[in-house]
């Protein structure tokens, strides 16, 4: 900056949809990434990071939200005019990597990845344009047991981040069943298929009646907005709904119901066989019964899926900061995408994967209050602005003993320094003023005990007398005394 | 993809300068980030992540490489036409965050961050456009001891990632000393200042003679390329060089030499006082003598620095994969930037920080071979393509015992499965074919022992007889046997 620049307060802000994250949220997210990747690693996946950028054409156009610029992707032109895009998920770049390096890879190629993805969507409350995903994929595995492994591992990942039995479910469907239903309903164009799938996706939200309207002429919502329907006949609507509502209490019963509802197409039969095969594999993987549900209404938006699709759902209802009931819903998903590598090579490479939405999951746990606030550092107050050596020495000594500690770095007096320590969540402050230096002591204030006792004190005088939580110890006993306070916390 | 798309092999590639990273490199980088952030946390800094995007105007134009599009930054236009940029470092976004949230922050605000930054530079060998940085900053601290803390912490971070005493140095200079020298040399325009600073920056590379040419009329390199000089007079060149070469064996001697060479300007005196104050603080922080060097030739490219500047350098010479001597050089740096927050608020907020170049550091350790290769998972071979339940069950059992294990997910026969296990770096494979199932046993092959013994075996017959590293155990003893092999590795 040159001194002639005019300060611009209007620039001290962030573009919408890109959150700043402070320590508690970051800690929750990083802990979850560590927990999920630990599961992925234990199941034999290895780390790969492909970075933020790909050629726009490499990523392809698979996002459901096509009304946005560049189909919902952030894109820019490189020096040589080539269009680059920021990845919108971790799967499309993996397909590019696998295609580029296929000859040299041990196959099947099993990789995990964790990192930010970017979507150029309309930002809103809880709807971000940059968020974290944590994925595992097996590329080069066509068997249904590879999908079952993803489903079982997804359940284990949910447990690893702290969801107990019954608090989550992995919902499973397959695109092939859906293909069969779409075929019987006569939805053959890609637009017609999309309208029917979008209608199915709303079963949770609008119920059977609302979906029936969306499958037929269309649906008017409470505000008077009209959504044009898929234009199916009554008989077709009935058969689609019978399929969508074939979910039963157990997976075996659902398979039975689907055997009747999935119709008579080749795709429908293939889809049913996939679920039957998955049931066998889930048993071999000892997946607890309640963890996985076969749910014919699961669609998954991304257009590259070709077989089984899965969705991880947090079931437990919680209250938000205003006491309203909130259900987090979907916190991850995945499925089989046998054609994604073939886009590059022409050879069909079967692949399946699962993605945890870390940002969404962490937001869910934040709502429930299950997010840890970390202790701040021990703060060593500074009594000498012109030479802060004493404070620096004490902080150094505390750190060398393995304690988290800092010397106060600002230029304010004692009261602001105490306030600073308080706001940082310091478990203790250490003071060595002239008195203490002369005596070879330090004064240590236990801020947690202090805060508790302070509530019970009424007058300023009483305060000065009792000095809650404050002790004076010989300098040689400082480490032990501070450690005692920190560890008691 | 629709089936009518033509596969495009040309798209199975990555834009230049954005590396794909496999497990060994990622593990090295993540370990270093953990080591460095552990130091930052212990010194009292708290985590903040501001994400990838900022308004282009918020970031400002501080990069030294001004010949590139958008001054070396990746930028794109949002829906509302506003220009967004990907962060080129972690400091400029911190200044924006601090300005935006100043009222609500505990001050000084001490934060650390780790993550990717993007620079639209010309990619080349070892020169990437996306790389990882790990920063700590104190915003709202004007004292020289805050800079000294950064320098001391930088030294501790270097030790934490594995650099021993004498293998690294934190080189310290201050812009105010440089300001004094520039003033005496009569370099008053920003262009003239830049030319002199760039010349100083080349002292290591070209020596005093080359720098004298760059300060004077200019310099012709071996290839005949001519770099125009700063056009200083002989006396001025002499005084600039005397300053640049004032570095001595100890910091105290360097301060003495600088007292003579730093000239007689107010800025020069202020700069000298900064180094004197830092020396006192470094002593209070017990920084080992060899860790920190006062080096008047250190410049640092970024234009927002206003006071002390530091550079972390890996000193140890190593050999690259072709046996050539390589010195990694700079792996981090930082300094004081008192005007960066004022760009937004108009109020001067003193600030200082340090950044470790994680990608560069990891690359350095990769060259020295100090990068760990991780063991792969135990691989359970699959003898039944139509029903892989046995392999799934065994892998599940191994994982529940805490072992890293996978059932083979491909569709190939035994030999490719063994080859797969080998390429994945599996410590062991587990086999349960018809024989084993009938007997209630599993066969376990120790791939490490196997590999060692295999070298000593000459004929195929001998191989079949001895089956190196292979044992058959009762199913109930499998976990203990596999654990023994994995942990022996």
pLDDT, one tens digit per residue, over A219-255 is 998 888 999 999 999 999 999 999 999 999 999 999 9
Region A410-417: what's the mean pLDDT? 95
Between the alpha carbon of residue A335 and those of residues A135, A347, B405, the distances in Å are 11, 19, 22
- Dump pLDDT digits (tens) for A187-198: 888 888 888 988
Q: Kindly identify which residue of chain A lies nearest to residue B403, measuring between CA atoms.
A: A42
* Residue A56 at interface with chain B, using a CB cutoff of 8 Å: no
Q: Give pTM, 2 decimals.
A: 0.91
Q: Between β-strands A130-139 and A351-357, what pairing exists: parallel, antiparallel or unpaired?
A: antiparallel
How many other C-beta atoms can be found within 10 angstroms of the C-beta atom of residue A392? Answer: 26
**Would you tell me which residues 366-405 of chain B have a C-beta closer than 8 angstroms to some C-beta of chain A?**
374, 376-377, 379, 385, 387-390, 392-393, 395-396, 399, 402-405
- Measured between alpha carbons, how far is A50 from B14 in angstroms, rounded to an integer? 9
Domains A14-198+240-367 and A378-488 share a fold: no
Residue A84: list chain B partners with CB under 8 A: 15
Contact residues, chain B, for A179 at CB < 8 Å = none
ipTM score assigned to the predicted complex = 0.90
Q: What is the DSSP letter of A259?
A: H
How would residue A451 be classed by pLDDT, with cut points 50, 70 and 90?
A: low
CATH architecture of the domain with range B378-488: 3-Layer(aba) Sandwich (3.40)
Q: What's the pLDDT at A4?
A: 44
**In contact, A235 and A212? CB cutoff 8 Å:** no
**Which residue, among A107, A403, A202, A240, has the nearest Cα to B419 in the 3D structure?**
A107
Q: Could you tell me the CATH superfamily of domain A14-198+240-367?
A: Bira Bifunctional Protein; Domain 2 (3.30.930.10)
Distances (CA, A) of B437 to B52, B401, B405: 54, 21, 20
Q: Is B146 on the interface with A (CB under 8 A)?
A: yes
Using the Cβ of A51 and the Cβ atoms of chain B, whether some distance falls under 8 Å is answered with yes
Cβ under 8 Å to A: B residues 308-367: 339-340, 342-346
Asked whether A4 and B342 are in contact (CB, 8 A), the reply is no
Give the best residue of B392, B395, B429 to mutate against chain A (max A CB count within 10 A): B392
Min CA distance, B418 vs chain A (Å)? 11
**Cβ-Cβ contacts under 8 Å for B267 (sequence gap 6 or more):** B176, B177, B179, B180, B183
| Pairing outcome for strands A53-55 and B428-431 | unpaired
β-bridge pairing A378-380 and B75-77: unpaired
Interface of B with A in 160-199 (CB under 8 A): 190
Rounded CA Rg of chain A: 29
Residue A3's pLDDT is: 42
DSSP per-residue codes, B209-277: HHHHHHHTTEEE-TTS-EEE-----HHHHHHHHHHHT---SSHHHHHHHHHHHT-S-HHHHHHHHHHHH
Q: Is B134 on the interface with A (CB under 8 A)?
A: no
Q: Which residue stretches of chain B have pLDDT < 70? A: 1-5, 63-70, 319-321, 366-372, 450-468, 489
How many CB contacts within 8 angstroms connect chain A with chain B? Answer: 316
Q: What is the DSSP letter of A127?
A: B
Residue A373 pLDDT level (bands cut at 50, 70, 90):
confident
Residues in chain A closer than 8 A to B149 (CB atoms): 392, 407, 409
Say which residues have a Cβ less than 8 Å from residue A350's Cβ, sequence separation at least 6: A140, A141, A142, A146, A336, A338
Return d(Cα B420, Cα A138) in angstroms, integer. Answer: 14
Q: Is B65 on the interface with A (CB under 8 A)?
A: no
Q: Could you tell me how many helices (H) and strands (E) chain B has, helices first? A: 18, 19
Identify the CA nearest to B478 among candidates B378, B375, B374, B385.
B378
The sign one gets for the Cα dihedral A256, A262, A265, A267 is negative
| Residues B396, A485: Cα–Cα separation, whole Å | 44
In which element (H, E) is residue A158 found? helix A144-160
Choose among A84, A108, A148: nearest Cβ to B410: A108
**DSSP for A208-238?**
HHHHHHHHTTEEE-TTS-EEE-----HHHHH
What is the β-pairing status of strands A83-86 and A53-55? antiparallel
CATH of span B15-203+239-367: 3.30.930.10
Of A111-120, A460-469, B417-426, give the lowest mean pLDDT range: A460-469
The ranges assigned to domains in chain A are: 14-198+240-367, 378-488
Any idea of the CA torsion for B65, B68, B69, B71, to the nearest 10 degrees? 10
Mark yes or no for CB contact A406/B26 under 8 Å: no
Listed in sequence order, the residues at least 6 apart from B344 whose beta carbon sits closer than 8 Å to its beta carbon are A7, A8, A9, A11, A12, B58, B95, B96, B99, B100
- The larger pLDDT score, comparing residue A373 to residue B208, is at B208
| Cβ–Cβ gap B52/A1 under 8 Å | no
Instruction: Provide the pLDDT for residue B1.
Output: 42
User: Is A145 close to B392, i.e. CB distance below 8 A?
Assistant: yes
Q: Which pLDDT score, from 0 to 100, does residue B18 have?
A: 94
Chain A 209-238, CB below 8 Å of chain B: which residues?
none
Which secondary structure element, helix H or strand E, spans residue A40, and what is its range? helix A23-42
pLDDT value at A59 more than 70: yes
Question: Min CA distance, A284 vs chain B (Å)?
Answer: 5
Q: How far apart are CA A129 and CA B8, in angstroms?
A: 29
Does the distance separating the beta carbons of A411 and B141 come in below 8 Å? yes
């Amino acid at each position: 900056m040159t001194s002639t620049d005019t300060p611009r307060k209007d620039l001290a802000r962030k573009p919408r949809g890109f959150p700043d994250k402070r320590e508690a949220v970051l800690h929750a997210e990083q802990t979850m990434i560590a927990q999920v990747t630990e599961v992925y690693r234990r199941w034999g996946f290895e780390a790969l990071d492909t970075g933020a950028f790909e050629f726009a054409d490499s990523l392809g156009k698979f996002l459901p939200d096509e009304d946005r610029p560049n189909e919902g992707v952030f894109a820019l032109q490189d020096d040589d005019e080539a269009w680059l895009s920021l990845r919108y998920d971790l799967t499309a770049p993996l397909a590019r990597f696998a295609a580029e390096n296929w000859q040299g890879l041990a196959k099947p190629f099993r990789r995990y990845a964790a990192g930010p993805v970017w979507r150029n969507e309309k930002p809103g409350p809880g709807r971000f344009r940059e968020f974290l995903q944590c994925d595992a994929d097996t590329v080069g595995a066509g068997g249904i047991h590879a999908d079952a492994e993803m489903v079982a591992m997804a359940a284990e990942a949910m447990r690893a981040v702290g969801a107990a039995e019954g608090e989550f479910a992995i919902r499973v469907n397959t695109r092939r069943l859906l293909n069969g239903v779409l075929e019987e309903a006569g939805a053959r164009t890609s637009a017609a298929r999309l309208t029917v799938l979008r209608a199915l996706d709303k079963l949770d939200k609008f119920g059977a009646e609302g979906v029936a309207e969306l499958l037929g002429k269309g649906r008017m919502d409470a505000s008077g907005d009209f959504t044009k329907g898929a234009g199916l006949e009554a008989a077709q609507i009935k058969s689609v709904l019978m399929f969508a509502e074939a979910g039963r209490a157990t997976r075996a019963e659902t398979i039975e119901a689907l055997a009747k509802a999935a119709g008579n197409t080749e795709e429908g039969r293939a889809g049913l066989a996939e679920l039957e095969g998955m049931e066998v594999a889930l048993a071999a993987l000892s997946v607890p019964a309640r963890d996985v549900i076969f749910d014919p209404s699961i669609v998954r938006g991304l257009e590259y899926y070709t077989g089984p699709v899965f969705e991880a759902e947090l079931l437990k209802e919680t209250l938000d900061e205003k006491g309203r009931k909130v259900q987090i819903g979907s916190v991850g998903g995945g499925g089989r995408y046998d054609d994604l590598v073939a886009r590059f090579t022409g050879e069909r490479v079967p692949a399946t994967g699962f993605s945890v939405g870390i940002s969404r999951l962490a937001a869910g746990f934040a709502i429930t209050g299950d997010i840890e606030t970390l202790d701040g550092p021990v703060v060593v107050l500074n009594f000498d602005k012109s030479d802060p050596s004493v404070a620096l020495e004490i902080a150094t000594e505390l750190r060398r003993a393995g304690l988290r500690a800092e010397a106060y770095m600002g230029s304010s007096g004692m009261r602001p320094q105490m306030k600073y320590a308080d706001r940082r969540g310091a478990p203790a402050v250490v003071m060595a003023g002239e008195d203490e230096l002369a005596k070879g002591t330090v004064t240590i204030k236990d801020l947690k005990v202090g805060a508790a006792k302070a509530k019970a004190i009424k007058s300023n005088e009483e305060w000065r007398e009792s000095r809650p939580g404050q002790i004076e110890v010989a300098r040689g006993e400082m480490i032990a005394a501070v450690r005692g306070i920190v560890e008691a916390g």
